[in-house]
Structures are given as C-alpha cells and as structure tokens.
Amino acid sequence: MKKNLLLLSLASLLGFSQCQTAKVTGDAIPTRLGEITVQPVFHGSFAMNWNNKTILVDPYGGGELYKDIPAPDMILITDIHGDHLDLKTLEAINTHKAIIIAPQAVVEMLPEALKSKTIDLANGEDTTTMNVRVIAVPMYNLPETPDSRHPKGRGNGYILDFAGRTVYISGDTEDIPEMENLKGIDVAFICMNLPYTMDVDQAASAVLKFKPRVVYPYHYRGQSGLSDVGAFKKKVDAGKQKIDVRLRKWYPTE
C-alpha cells in the first residue's frame, strides 16, 4: 500500500464556504467529489467528513468530545506524545470500522486490537484508502539535536489529497525546509506553541513561503498559555498573499 512520494496535482480552484451537516458542523471545503467539512475538536484534534467518510486527526481529550461526531472511518496519528496518541480517548470512541494511519513509533505503542488495523507510514511514504491519498511528511524541531522533543523521522505530518484538493496537517514541527517548500496546498493546519513547536513569527513566515489558500492555526497551547493567533493572522494578512486565515475555537477558554 506504500508508494514513493509523488508530486500532487491540483483541481481547478473553487470558492470556500461555511456549512452544516447532519452531525458534523464546520467549514466546508469544496472538491469535485463533494465538500470536506472541518470541525475543530480540541488542541491538535479535529474531524473531517468527506464522501460520507469521517476522518479524525489525533483524537485527544476524552471520548465525550467525540460523542456527536460519526464513528471514524480513518484515524491519523502524528506522534507518540499524549496529546496526539491518547489511548484513553482511542479506546473510548467507536473504532470498529476505522483504519489507523501512524508512524512506526506510534504503532509500537498501540494495543494489539488497534495495531491490527493500522497502516504504518514513514516520512515520504503514502497510501490510498477510501479514495483519499495520505502522504506522510517530516515534522521535527530545529535545531536537530539528540534530545529534541520531536526528532526528525519519528513523527508524521500529513498531506491528504481529496480528489485533487490538498490538505496539509503540520503535526508538531517548526518552520522546517520541508514545510516551507510545499507546493499546491489548498488548506493547511499549522501548529504554533512554544517551546514544543514554533512561535507565531515562525509560523507566519513559513505560511507566507508555501502560500496555502486557507490556513487554520491549531495546536497553539504552550507553557505560557495560548499563542496569539490574532497576531499570526495580522502577520499573514500583511504579507498580501491572499491567504484566508481562519481563527476557530480549539479550547474551552476561548
């Protein structure tokens, strides 16, 4: 199921809107095979629904947060840390039909019942399931040191191709060259929380280099509280690249 990383092609550019589905309320992203709806859940976790399939990213924070979201068909896990690999939440949600996609370090920590339904992807590898192409891409801290919180190669960011509409999920990373050199990304989820990932300035600089059409700041709770995503939006807007920065509620205190 794994292939080498290939260049992604884009479908024709379409407008973006807001919508509400029966069970998942969120932003609507059009594709030629129907809309992707995006629903923030908590911190680095969110749900996407497309073509009657539900995808969860890094389910975290307890099963109660997911009670109104359909049982997932696909679960993406980026890293081994507890706000990404949360076994308590995974065991609380209905995973009976889910395919899990994760890096090897995560697979090694899963119980057998979940491991048996997991596709192991390393950076640069990809798989296609449910008509969604999933490419694992690097996520790591700079500078690269032996004691790094996120060493290169352990965790995965992801690029998802929904019938030509590309969605980038950064995972826990800094403004690494692999991010800055991305091409043709329609929607990006970008982390920004010191000291674990990058600050607002780094995040804005990276976004202005690879120019996604839409960007969602997410995963922005750090040691000093929530990052100033409003300042991030101002910095990106000042770059005049026609990037739609979408500020959404990811934490109960917002």
Instruction: Tell me whether the omega of the peptide bond preceding residue 212 falls within 30 degrees of 0, making it cis.
Output: no
- Look at residue 2 and tell me if it is in a domain: no
CA distance 82 to 34: 33
Please write the tens of the pLDDT for every residue from 28-58: 898 989 999 999 999 999 999 999 999 999 9
The answer to whether residues 169 and 78 touch, using CB atoms and an 8 Å cutoff, is yes
- Look at residue 38 and tell me if it is in a domain: yes
SS3 217: strand
CA distance 209 to 207: 5
Please write the tens of the pLDDT for every residue from 88-110: 999 999 999 999 999 999 999 99
- Look at residue 6 and tell me if it is in a domain: no
Please state the pTM of the whole predicted model: 0.90
pLDDT of 11 higher than 50 = no
Say which residue, 76 or 30, is predicted with more confidence: 76
Contacts of 189 (CB under 8 A, 6+ apart): 46, 57, 167, 168, 169, 170, 215, 216, 218, 219
Mean of the per-residue pLDDT values of the chain? 89
Q: How confident is the model at residue 144 (pLDDT cuts 50, 70, 90)?
A: confident
- Look at residue 140 and tell me if it is in a domain: yes
Instruction: Tell me whether the omega of the peptide bond preceding residue 217 falls within 30 degrees of 0, making it cis.
Output: no
Q: How confident is the model at residue 145 (pLDDT cuts 50, 70, 90)?
A: confident
Q: Tokens 């969110």 identify what position?
A: 46
pLDDT of 4 higher than 70 = no
pLDDT of 13 higher than 80 = no
pLDDT of 200 higher than 90 = yes
- Look at residue 149 and tell me if it is in a domain: yes
**Structural domain count, the chain:** 1
- Look at residue 9 and tell me if it is in a domain: no
The answer to whether residues 24 and 39 touch, using CB atoms and an 8 Å cutoff, is yes
- Look at residue 237 and tell me if it is in a domain: yes
Domain with 217, as residue range(s), is 16-245
Q: State the CATH number of the domain containing residue 191.
A: 3.60.15.10
Please write the tens of the pLDDT for every residue from 151-190: 999 999 999 999 999 999 999 999 999 999 999 999 999 9
The answer to whether residues 35 and 50 touch, using CB atoms and an 8 Å cutoff, is yes
Share of the chain above pLDDT 70, in %: 90
Q: From residue 186, give the alpha-carbon distance in Å to each of 95, 97, 119.
A: 29, 28, 25
3-state helix, strand, coil in the chain (%, to 5): 15, 30, 50
- Look at residue 251 and tell me if it is in a domain: no
Q: Of 192, 140, 145, 185, which Cα lies nearest the Cα of 166?
A: 185
